Structure 1
């Protein structure tokens, strides 16, 4: 592993390059920033070999792009695409994004927004239930969001005009884009031809899923554990099989990931989490600023106090088994079978069960504290009454929406798990107990505040917690 032999003065640069590549998977001349690609190119050889050895990932670096091809071990619904305004993509935006990539792959060096929209609209006619009507404002907004996602990554660059003007009035507004074909081709590189798949599980890596993992070597099992460390906010030991659990407990394996990423591992009996104080590997920084992050931290502290109250023990429940096949079945049900090329279609064993398996029986999953939805609702209402004047305006009048978003954030960070009737509290939430709250107030003589202070007041009460935020 090259990370061991790199000079200590240069190691930080190498680790920054590794974090950028692992966090983004695609790096261009402008995405995620203009210094990222030169940094990746400097360490291309070392990164290529280390990422392949430790994680089984493939790295391709050119003059204009760097593309990481990860190995997916499971389906994950927790990393949705987002618009430039941080709104989540819906199914229509995903469809427009895919069709826009197809159109750009056949285009020349430039294209107008209306021309691209017309091509995508023609493609939608071949898909049942999908339409792009330029005279419908909702369709235009969704299409512009998809193009904005491509523009943020450098696939297209605005040369003239304004996409917002076209979205408002396509008859009066227009936008001209330069097309970077290298980025377009780097963006869409599935491991297999989509028309040859009968199940979405065919997009998982060669080492993932089914009987292949049951016969995996120790080296591939170690790579799977390392992948979990860099891809998940926390790796719980009870989610791994016996072999992987033993590997997670090895200091050597965790240290290797620390050396490559520059992150610090926090080990507990329940599992391991990488702590990213740099903010360059985490897609969600926590604790963080903003109403949602601050209320989530406050709620985590309230939950921890409730669970740790020995005088009033909470109910405990077993964690339900939720194999990735549930999500696979939902996605597979949406595959338009008319587009599958049956003669070459890969038959994939979604469930991967082996009735004759001789694997040792897994130990029983420990029980977890359970908190009812009514308690969560009442607590968020209490926090809103106490600190509501520091919340962003949209959440001051929408406490139910605030609760839903906060719970979603905690679930994404793997601090809780949503179940029928409430939440299961996962062990890592305990690290956020005892949050200290400080409320910023404006002096009576202060008539005006700066834009920076406005942003601070729109975030929730400033809450601090010992230690760095976990991934």
Structure 2
């Protein structure tokens, strides 16, 4: 019995659907790795990343110069920042102290058994914290205070989120309040493959000889990520393309004026083609203006800070953004303002919007803390330049010149921001 072949038109349509599915899966992999460069096998996008492994490796290496390792135990995209002086990135709630504890915890786990308890991890971190280099800089860590135990638990949660630790039993929160009782402990499996991928440096700090080790902080940062650059014109162009692609994939916006002369010339000539390739792969939308270029995500997933969003801080940030955008457009007023002026603006906004804010934000004096939070968010989004108490709105803030705010009932979750189509001044 013979099987009649599919009509040519149906066969072509099936091929197109398969190609579209492959592209969609590839885009899912790109987006997932950008948001989770160290990806554990339990991540919902990991199967797609494994299926698209070869294509993803080629794309990240070609466009951004980022190596990608994909194994059965997990995936690691070795993202290296284009701008080492940008201090707006980092783990939420982390300060210098917690970063030190994170490094110490990873060092302990590197030498630990396949399983470890939270109590034992803490005790060994305490031992390592007595190292002379740390104590000479005033670092001290014990398990005697709840604050110290809270910092250790925050580090453990970070390692859990990144798949370095897997909880077998126990609870971290009870450990904060009482670590002396055995029932207030937690047991973890140590995932060594994921632990090995925590550091994204080109060259590990332990590979430096003591006499050659860089001393200055900036030199140490550069030594971690310095990469070999091929000689010749093609090597120079590749380095420029990788630098710009890294910034476009990591930063909210690139302002043309922020680039040096060589990079600016390449950017002006190549930004259209570059943006097209990045947008096609990552499902983004390019907004090009004379002032610069932004790759935006309509879904809001590829961002650490959403705007607009729900909550008191998010609403206050939107109000301040609109206020600064209006100053940028007002030819009669200087666009530069101060921290105190923004705090006063928010104090005045309490009369109109305070009933929609949480109670603590309405208290006298709370406007200063709220102003600090909103300005930090705007700075991280590269909508303002903020230094020494001076605030200068940048061109991209123009999209938040939304005009008269419409107050919606508290039960309505839809946000009507009326933002302009343009991200920049035209």
Match of 1:136 in 2: 145
Worse-matched range after superposition: 56-65 or 215-224: 215-224
1:58 aligns with 2:67: yes
1:377 aligns with 2:346: no
Contact 1:160 1:175 in 2 (8 A): yes
Alpha-carbon RMSD across the aligned residues, in angstroms, is: 2.6
| Number of equivalenced pairs | 385
Match of 2:9 in 1: none
1:419 aligns with 2:393: no
Contact 2:28 2:45 in 1 (8 A): no
Larger relative contact order (Cα-Cα within 8 Å, sequence gap ≥ 6): 1
Worse-matched range after superposition: 126-135 or 253-262: 126-135
Counterpart secondary structure, 1:244: helix
Alpha-carbon distance in structure 1 between the residues aligned to 2:327 and 2:232: 40
Match of 1:77 in 2: 87
Deviation of the 1:435 alpha carbon: 5.0
1:205 aligns with 2:215: no
Worse-matched range after superposition: 88-97 or 43-52: 88-97
Alignment of 1:376-395 (within 5 A): 376-395=342-361
1:190 aligns with 2:195: no
Contact 2:402 2:420 in 1 (8 A): no
Counterpart secondary structure, 1:79: coil
1:407 corresponds, among 365, 375, 378, to 375
The TM-score normalised by the length of structure 1 is: 0.76
Contact 1:26 1:187 in 2 (8 A): yes
Alpha-carbon distance in structure 2 between the residues aligned to 1:404 and 1:59: 37
Contact 1:117 1:134 in 2 (8 A): yes
1:157 aligns with 2:130: no
Worse-matched range after superposition: 278-287 or 171-180: 278-287
Misfit runs of 4+, over 4 Å: 212-216, 467-470
Alpha-carbon distance in structure 2 between the residues aligned to 1:94 and 1:433: 38
Counterpart secondary structure, 1:401: helix
Match of 1:22 in 2: 34
Counterpart secondary structure, 1:158: strand
Alpha-carbon distance in structure 1 between the residues aligned to 2:188 and 2:165: 6
1:465 corresponds, among 415, 418, 426, to 418
Pair 1:100–1:468, CA change in 2 (3 A): farther
Q: Give unpaired runs (5+ residues) of structure 1.
A: 1-5, 83-87, 315-368, 443-452
Alpha-carbon distance in structure 2 between the residues aligned to 1:104 and 1:213: 43
Counterpart secondary structure, 2:405: strand
1:248 aligns with 2:267: yes
2:129 corresponds, among 124, 128, 150, to 124
The TM-score normalised by the length of structure 2 is: 0.84
2:278 corresponds, among 240, 243, 257, to 257
Match of 1:313 in 2: 333
Alignment of 1:325-340 (within 5 A): none
Deviation of the 1:421 alpha carbon: 4.3
Counterpart secondary structure, 2:293: strand
1:276 corresponds, among 274, 294, 297, to 297
Counterpart secondary structure, 1:402: helix
